[in-house]
Amino acid sequence: MEDPSLWLHVCISAVLVLLCGAFSGLTIALMTQDDIYLRVIELSAEPADQHNAKKVIALLKRGKHWILVALLLGNAITSEALPVVLDQFLDGGLAVLASTALVVIFSDVIPQSVCARHSLTVGAYMVPYVSIFMNMLAPIAWPIAKLLDALVGDHDPTGFTRPGLKALFSLHTVLGKPEDRLNSDEVKIIHGALGIIDKSATRIMTPIEDVYSLSADTVLDEYTIDRIRIQGYSRILVHAPNNRLDILGVFVTRKLVRYNPKLCKRVCDFDWSPIPTIHSRTNCLNVLKIFQEGTYHMVLVSQKERNLVLGIITREDILEELIGEDILDEFDCMHDRATLLARQLNPLPTPPTPTEKIIEKPSIIAISAPESEVINAWVRETSFSQQYGSVDYFNSAAQWKYIQNYLAQTRKRQQSENAGRRTYGTLS
């Protein structure tokens, strides 16, 4: 006659195997969850996954070490009790072998493989039971968890560095479903946006030697208008006579739409737009913020120590840096191909222009926000330095009217002197 306690021991052994598997699988399901990944799932996944992520995040906030200690204690208790129960109806050696086989197959291999594949779903489903078990073992597990927090530290969310994010998005061109993958253009844009803060203004500027500009006393005759039309720029820098590096402002070429070249006006007879000047160490992100205000289309790059203009940056330069590719228009194609070659082989002759000295600019003191250095500028502007920090000074052409007056007075004086010479020559 069979012993009635045999089936009781068999049922207890089965329960212990299941419990051991549950503790082993939950250790994998909960301890391998990444905080950043869970937050991403909580904000962007399907509603069911968002609900599961919220439940797991709430449990993990109670303390990962507390959960770990509770699950390991439960696994140790059940795995150690299993051979004792099996020994009631099996011989000692056979009980150890059977216990080892059951634990390895049904408590480690199968549960861990399943929980590793469906960790979020399994972990969220078992959250209430894990919470109850944690409270049951709190007198033992909680002090041990606090000791671990003090020794090895708490589990803080670990983010990605910019190079790590670039590598992560590059991998998404081949990972996942085809419809969810990123294409190469998207990755270029992401890489450009992530790297823009690490690049200084000098990395993307156009050197001032390669910039087409006009002198303030340039006569806008037919020859000059043709040169401006060939260049194809919507805005042209205006520099002081005899000093190409002394940039005064920006001339908008659309003002010449109804202009008659026979009038032979000078550049200084038109209104200009101011242009901000930034330090060469200013990063491209701050330059982008300047352009986002919508007031300026280009900025000057200079070295504050020598007050030397190095080059310019336009909105197109920033946009090209963001998308990681060059933006070509019809004028770029013209410059890059036959027209540029023709200009190099047969440069346009420079017409003779009167050389007139420009009055010295008044020195107005401005303070550089990041380094508190005193520099010379035309106009004191604090809004840029307060908002962007690395912008050192603001060079405005708002005060250029005195240039016009000076040139006009100089021309009148020269005409008077010439008239006096002719009169004196006639009398003699």
**Mean predicted confidence (pLDDT) in 177-198:** 81
Instruction: Report the number of distinct structural domains present in the chain.
Output: 3
- Quick check: 308 and 392 in contact, CB under 8 A? no
Q: Per-residue pLDDT for 337 more than 50?
A: no
**Domain final residue, candidates 152, 174, 208:** 152
Considering the domain boundaries, does residue 241 fall inside one? Answer: yes
pLDDT the model gives residue 384: 41
Q: Are residues 122 and 228 in the same domain?
A: no
- Quick check: 313 and 204 in contact, CB under 8 A? yes
Q: Are residues 123 and 166 in the same domain?
A: no
Band of residue 383 on the pLDDT scale cut at 50, 70, 90:
very low
Q: Are residues 274 and 191 in the same domain?
A: no
Q: Are residues 55 and 183 in the same domain?
A: no
Q: Per-residue pLDDT for 33 more than 70?
A: yes
pLDDT the model gives residue 403: 54
Nearest to 393 by CA among 301, 292, 317: 301
- Burial of residue 233 (CB within 10 Å: 0-12, 13-18, 19+) is middle
Between 60-74, 167-181, 337-351, 396-410, the lowest mean confidence (pLDDT) is in 337-351
Considering the domain boundaries, does residue 427 fall inside one? Answer: no
Of 378 and 47, the structure prediction assigns the larger pLDDT to: 47
Considering the domain boundaries, does residue 244 fall inside one? Answer: yes
Q: Are residues 332 and 353 in the same domain?
A: yes
Between 20-24, 82-86, 342-346, the lowest mean confidence (pLDDT) is in 342-346
Q: Are residues 209 and 147 in the same domain?
A: no
Q: Per-residue pLDDT for 319 more than 90?
A: no
Q: Are residues 177 and 276 in the same domain?
A: no
The amino acid at 255: K
Q: Both tokens of residue 247?
A: 């940039």
**Mean predicted confidence (pLDDT) in 264-281:** 85
pLDDT the model gives residue 126: 92
**Mean predicted confidence (pLDDT) in 308-324:** 84
Considering the domain boundaries, does residue 319 fall inside one? Answer: yes
Q: Per-residue pLDDT for 153 more than 60?
A: yes
* Domain harbouring 329, CATH code: 3.10.580.10
pLDDT the model gives residue 144: 92
To the nearest whole percent, how much of the chain has pLDDT over 70? Answer: 74
Domain hosting residue 268, numbered range: 200-417
Beta strands in 344-409 (DSSP E): 364-367, 374-377
Residues 6+ apart with CB under 8 A from 161: none
Q: H/E element holding 279?
A: strand 277-279
Q: How far is CA 7 from CA 2, 4, 11, in A?
A: 9, 6, 6
**Mean predicted confidence (pLDDT) in 334-341:** 47
Taking the C-alpha atoms of residue 273 and residue 417, their distance in angstroms, rounded to an integer, is 34
**Mean predicted confidence (pLDDT) in 177-181:** 77
Band of residue 158 on the pLDDT scale cut at 50, 70, 90:
low
Considering the domain boundaries, does residue 250 fall inside one? Answer: yes
pLDDT the model gives residue 69: 92
pLDDT the model gives residue 396: 36
User: Which residues share a beta bridge with 374?
Assistant: 367
Considering the domain boundaries, does residue 425 fall inside one? Answer: no
**Mean predicted confidence (pLDDT) in 125-153:** 90
Q: Are residues 312 and 180 in the same domain?
A: no
Q: Are residues 173 and 224 in the same domain?
A: no
The DSSP secondary structure of 322-352, one letter per residue, reads: HHTS----HHHHHHHTHHHHHHHHSPPPPPP
Task: For 189-245, write each residue's pLDDT tens digit.
Answer: 888 888 888 888 888 888 888 888 888 888 888 888 888 888 888 888 888 888 888
Q: Are residues 171 and 206 in the same domain?
A: no
Q: Are residues 220 and 343 in the same domain?
A: yes
Band of residue 302 on the pLDDT scale cut at 50, 70, 90:
confident
3 state SS of 176: coil
Q: How many residues does the chain have?
A: 428
The DSSP secondary structure of 207-255, one letter per residue, reads: EGGGS-EEETT-B--HHHHHHHHHHT-SEEEEEETTEEEEEEEEEEGGG
Band of residue 130 on the pLDDT scale cut at 50, 70, 90:
very high
Considering the domain boundaries, does residue 80 fall inside one? Answer: yes
pLDDT the model gives residue 381: 39
3 state SS of 374: strand
**Mean predicted confidence (pLDDT) in 293-302:** 84
Task: For 406-424, write each residue's pLDDT tens digit.
Answer: 566 766 776 777 676 655 4
Instruction: Report CA Rg, the chain.
Output: 38
Q: Are residues 259 and 385 in the same domain?
A: yes
Considering the domain boundaries, does residue 95 fall inside one? Answer: yes
Q: What is the DSSP letter of 393?
A: B
SS3 readout for 112-170: HHHHHHCHHHHHHHCHHHHHHHHHHCHHHHHHHHHHHHHHHCCCCCCCCCHHHHHHHHH
